[in-house]
Amino acid sequence: MTARSLAPVLPVDDLLAAVAVYTRLLGVLPTFVDGDRWAQFDLAGHRLALAGRDRAADHPGVLLKVDDLRSARAEAVAAGLPVEEIQTGPHEHRCVVTGPGGWPVVLYSPAPKEQQ
């Protein structure tokens, strides 16, 4: 598995309010907001993701962008981790792995532009 990026994901109940707070705290505008589903901030080479309506769990987790989602999923299965089936979202293909301690690890790859 080749990982391309790693980002913490924080679940929030009110995404627009959270975006306003993090915009002020971080001093930057979000790089992506998708309604009440999802927002991302990029700062100093790092990404912070906020999960509103589109979340894997009600506690923080990790977002891991991979080159080959099927291969990454197979590696998680081989490691004996609980792994969900691959799903297609509005902008990505993803599956949720439950890591040690119960933390969600969302493996994903962007959907081709024609699917968005």
Which pLDDT tens digit goes with each residue over 30-74?
Answer: 999 999 999 999 999 999 999 999 888 899 999 999 999 999 999
Of 53, 62, 55, nearest in space to 7 by CA: 62
Give me the numbers of helices (H) and strands (E) for the chain, helices first please: 2, 8
List Cβ neighbours of 9 (8 Å cut-off, separation of 6 or more): 49, 50, 51, 55, 56, 60, 61, 62, 63, 104, 106
Q: With a cut of 90, say whether residue 114 has pLDDT above it.
A: no
The rounded mean pLDDT for the chain is 93
> Can you give the pTM of this predicted structure?
0.84
For 51, residues 6+ apart whose C-beta sits below 8 A from its C-beta are 9, 10, 11, 12, 37, 38
State the number of CA atoms in the 13 A half-sphere of 20 facing the CB.
5
> Quick one: CATH architecture of 3-115?
Roll (3.10)
